[in-house]
Amino acid sequence: MNDYVITVATFAAIQAIVACGLNVIVGYAGQISLGHAAFFGIGAYASALLTTKAGLSFWAALPMVVAVTGLVGLLLGIPSLRVRDDFLAITTIGINFIVEAVFLYVPFFGGALGIGNIPRVTLFHMRMKGPSYLILCLIFLALVLLLCRWFTRSWAGLACFALREEETAAGGMGISPVRFKLLAFVAGTATAGLGGALYAHFMRFISPGDFSFPVSVMLLSMIVLGGMGTQWGPVLGAMILVSLPELFRPLMEIRFLLYTAILLVMIRFQPAGLLGEASLARRVLAKAAPRGTGR
């Protein structure tokens, strides 16, 4: 593997982590979010600030970063409880624009220039870069996938599925909508925070534009393309949407157009996602598949 492939793969792994977090909110709990990049950004900024300004190591900062992002997710999740469906979609877009504006306009966050000179992650005195950082990201991705699997098999996860399907009935089964929606929000945003931290120390320079609304769209597209609420959907979606622009790189000028065209064609003709129900892949695998949990 050359450096270029490793870079793309690392980025895809990070995006997959963030998309898994979004999958908890949208796929499991059914709460549409178009502002997930804001929490990706909060994680990145928190880690960047803690390591550059406060002088902490990546590992010391990480628990704080995840906690802070989850806490902000909790705070911003509370107003989101009041609205649903399309109102929720637009509210989360608003959250994304406002958070980006805060990064851009509050001098503490470095303004349009962002934050640079973010240190590399070190482990046992080894500075992680290239292949070793890719492996680190893959380990975190595996951890997130295990947590997701555990969550879908927990009562809390089942409560989220029930809320997604039929909120009134779920209430009648003893499920508090507030508690479990917020739980999904916190779990999803904290995961985005982890992804953000990995991103900051991978790029070593971050600016507000990295976490703008189109990034949220891309993240939602990943889980929709891969298969909403499925275990591997976010990973597949991230792999496709991160690698496509790279594969098209030789096409120069028209590569972004081709990319949006493919996104449109996929969503138009496979709206349930590549691993979703009734999808091509599902029908082929149908015979071997064990009893499903989520959708």
- Of these, 271, 278, 280, 285, which contacts another protein (CB under 8 A)? 271
Pick between residue 201 and residue 295 the one whose CB is nearest to another protein: 295
Q: How far apart are CA 281 and CA 284, in angstroms?
A: 5
> Count of CB atoms within 10 A of residue 1's CB?
10
Near another protein in 223-262, by CB under 8 A: 224, 253-254, 256-257, 260-261
Q: Does 1 bind another protein (CB under 8 A)?
A: no
Number of residues that bind another protein (CB under 8 A): 64
- Taking alpha carbons only, the member of 204, 194, 203 closest to residue 59 is 194
Instruction: Report the distance separating Cα 56 and Cα 49, nearest Å.
Output: 9
What is the pattern of x (binds another protein, CB under 8 A) and - over residues 45-74? ------------------------------
Rule CB under 8 A: say whether 124 interacts with another protein: no
User: Can residue 293 be called a binding residue for another protein (CB under 8 A)?
Assistant: yes
Q: Closer to another protein at the Cβ: 1 or 257?
A: 257
CA dihedral 167→28→78→60, nearest 10 degrees, is 160
Part of the chain binding another protein (CB under 8 A), chosen from 44-52, 92-100, 109-117, 189-197: 92-100
8 A C-beta contact, residue 227 and residue 274: yes
Check the CA dihedral 232-217-17-152 and report its sign: negative
Residues 6 or more apart from 215 whose CB is under 8 A from it?
A: 37, 40
d(CA 166, CA 250): 48
Residues in the site for another protein, rule: CB under 8 A?
Answer: 26, 32, 34, 79, 82-83, 85-87, 89-91, 93-95, 97-98, 101, 104-105, 153-156, 158-159, 161-162, 165-166, 168-177, 179-180, 183, 213-214, 217, 220-221, 224, 253-254, 256-257, 260-261, 263-264, 267-268, 271-272, 291, 293, 295
